[in-house]
Amino acid sequence: EEEEEEEGEEEEGVEKGEDESKKYAKFWAAFGKYIKMGLMEDSSNRTRLAKLLRYATSKTEREISLEEYVSNMKEDQKNIYYISGESRDQLLKSPAVEKLLARDIEVILMTEAIDEYTVQHLTEFEGKRLINAAREGLKLDEDEKEKKLLDVYKEQYAPLLGFIRSTLGGRVDKVSISKHLVSSPVLVTTADYGWTAQMEKVMKAQAFADNSKYEFMKAKRNFEINPRHPLIVELNKKVEADSEDAQATDMLTSLYMASVLQAGYQLSPEDVTDFVGRVTNVVTTGLGVDPDAELAPEPEIPEEEEEEEEEEEVEEEEMDEGAAPKDEV
């Protein structure tokens, strides 16, 4: 009987917990944005307000608290990881989270514009730093083997890394071997003090946006390469054989601009024109077409003048026949 009573109490507790979760979910849907704004404005209650935050993650569509996230963390995980963007599906497909997902690390998915402002005021929670997966350096623990492997890759890909720096120039702040990527060839990340793609969109959308500040902040981008990807392996060989290969320049620039778009940034009008030209060059070379080839001649159209004259004569005869009865009347 005692066991049955205990089971009954547990079931009641679970039901109460589910009811409370549902009630809070409704409350959060209605007032969540105000709580985030309060967290930015009220520094004295920031810690208390942080406990009220709710976010979906890479492991659940149900919005959970930061406390629940911390309780679910792996034993060797030291930081809280998040990424911001337009939608859950877009964020889960981002190359920036490939390494985290491969290590089964839960990632918080932020899909509201205000989230970027919120995390600027919430740098840590319960002693755990909040790390943006879209920024350089994931702050993951590395063993000696991984450190030595990185040194080997730096030496092996020195030709390509130098080629990227000289080709992209001021478009990127740093060029490095990626610590984010698993299956994608390249990735554009944000420097520690630059705007993320989501923040860049928010700032550009403001009515009185400072264009000079935008130009300064948007330049703080890093370009990372995946040393194990076949495309990067072959590109490195191509550059090593000829550092002035025009085809390699087109390929690299196309990869960079495609990665910029994939990261959620916008290309300038000049970059759009350049991107179109580069892709056209790559496709032209891939099809084996001579870039200086002349346009194909227009097809010959058979002359149909005689047929047209006969049709006109028939039409005129029909019109004359139709007009005769009217004259008689």
- The pLDDT of residue 83 is 95
Pairing of strands 79-84, 128-132: parallel
Mean residue pLDDT of the chain comes to 85
Average pLDDT over residues 183-195: 89
Yes or no: say if 36 and 53 are a contact pair by the CB < 8 Å rule: yes
Distance CA 165, CA 142 (A): 26
Residue 329: the pLDDT is 41
Return the pLDDT at 308.
58
User: Does the predicted TM-score (pTM) go above 0.95?
Assistant: no
pLDDT at 138: 85
Region 256-267: mean pLDDT is 91
Hey, which bits of 39-144 come out as E strands?
56-57, 79-84, 107-110, 124-125, 128-132
Here the tokens at position 176 are 């490095």
The tens digit of pLDDT for each residue in 19-72 reads 788 899 999 999 999 999 999 999 899 999 999 999 999 999 999 999 999 999
User: Which of 175, 171, 150 lies closest to 162 in space, CA to CA?
Assistant: 175
**Dist. CA 327–CA 329, nearest whole Å:** 5
Q: How many CB atoms lie within 10 A of CB 129?
A: 12
Whether the CB-CB separation of 103 and 140 falls below 8 Å is answered with yes
pLDDT score of 126 more than 50:
yes
Cβ atoms < 10 Å from Cβ of 38: 16
Confidence of residue 3 (pLDDT cuts 50, 70, 90): low
- For residue 73, pLDDT over 50 is answered with yes
